Each structure stands twice: as structure tokens, then as C-alpha cells.
């Protein structure tokens, strides 16, 4: 992906239905690092931890909304270096406490349904880590010698 430009102010609203929660799972994350994320940043709200302000290049953990909606706010300073690529994420809306899921979904221990492709991906999208239980450890690279 191309680097994002300076001077951006973007917002996205993900709206679910009554009683749903929204789970955000980051695939890539590269937002220019600054002290306390006061330069370029991404904010997610509301989440279980309140408001989350993110920057840097470490892939954030999954976020689960506290309500049936979630706001994302992205800001890059007017004098931003333009050396960061931004972020890519996936999200899913779902109810907690379900007992059955669609055939292409995985049922979490808390009753949440997630895409099967999110199981054993190294990210706790269920919120209770049941999507990462019983997974094979990732392969390790070994060199002959």
C-alpha cells in the first residue's frame, strides 16, 4: 500500500443492531510513532477499556466494542513525514451468548460467532481466547548448519 498523506482527518462509524458487539481485528498497522500518540493516531471508541489511541507499527490486539457501534477516528499532522502506510482491518458484528453459528463460522466460548478464518490466527478476537485454544504452535524457521 501507498503511504498516507499529511493533514488527514477521517472518521468511520460501524453500526450494528441492538444487542450486537463489534470486533475489530487488525491485519496491518503502521501509523507514525509519536510520544503518547499525540502526532498521527487512530482512536477507537467505545471499547471495554474506554477510548483507545493507537500509533506505531506494532499490530494492536483485537478490539471489542461495548455497544452495537464503534467509531474510528484517524488523524495525521499537517507536517507528518508521510513515511507510514496506515492500517488495514477486518470487523464483524455479532451477538454474545449465541448457541449456534453459521457453517462458515466458529462459536467462541462466550457465545460469539467469528469467521472460521479467524480461528488460530494468533489474535484473540473472541475476547475469551477460545479461538486460539488447541491451535498448533506456529512453525519455526530452522537453518541447516
Q: Could you tell me the three cell numbers for 41?
A: 493516531
Contact indicator for 64, 21 with CB cutoff of 8 Å = yes
Q: Omega before 140 cis (within 30°)? A: no
Give backbone dihedrals phi and psi of 91, rounded to 5 degrees, phi first.
Answer: -140, 160
Which three three-digit cell numbers place residue 132? 486460539
| Domain covering 8-94 in this structure, CATH number | 2.60.120.290
Question: pLDDT digit of tens for each residue in the chain (145 aa)?
Answer: 689 999 999 999 999 888 888 889 999 999 999 889 999 999 998 766 667 899 999 999 888 887 888 999 999 998 887 789 999 999 988 877 667 788 898 888 888 888 999 999 999 999 889 999 989 876 666 666 5
Q: Where are the domains of the chain?
A: 8-94, 99-131
In the three-class reduction of DSSP (H, G, I as helix; E, B as strand; rest coil), residue 56 is classed as: strand
Say if CB 62 and CB 25 are below 8 A apart.
yes
Q: Are 99 and 109 in contact (CB under 8 A)?
A: no
First and final C-alpha spacing in the chain: 37
pTM of the model: 0.72
Closest CA relative to residue 46, chosen from 60, 66, 21, 62: 66
Fold topology of 99-131: Low-density Lipoprotein Receptor (4.10.400)
**pLDDT computed for residue 66 by the predictor:** 78
Amino acid at each position: 500500500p501507498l503511504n498516507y498523506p499529511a493533514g488527514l482527518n477521517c472518521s468511520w462509524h460501524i453500526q450494528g443492531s441492538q444487542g450486537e458487539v463489534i470486533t475489530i481485528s487488525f491485519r496491518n498497522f503502521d501509523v507514525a510513532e509519536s510520544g503518547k500518540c499525540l502526532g498521527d493516531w487512530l482512536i477507537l471508541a467505545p471499547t471495554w477499556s474506554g477510548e483507545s489511541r493507537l500509533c506505531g507499527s506494532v499490530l494492536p490486539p483485537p478490539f471489542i466494542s461495548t455497544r452495537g457501534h464503534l467509531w474510528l477516528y484517524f488523524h495525521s499532522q499537517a507536517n507528518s513525514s508521510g513515511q507510514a502506510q496506515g492500517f488495514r482491518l477486518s470487523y464483524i458484528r455479532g451477538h454474545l451468548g449465541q448457541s449456534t453459528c453459521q457453517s462458515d463460522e466458529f462459536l467462541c466460548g462466550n457465545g460469539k460467532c467469528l469467521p472460521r478464518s479467524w480461528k488460530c490466527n494468533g489474535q484473540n478476537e473472541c475476547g475469551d481466547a477460545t479461538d486460539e485454544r488447541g491451535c498448533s504452535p506456529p512453525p519455526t524457521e530452522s537453518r541447516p548448519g
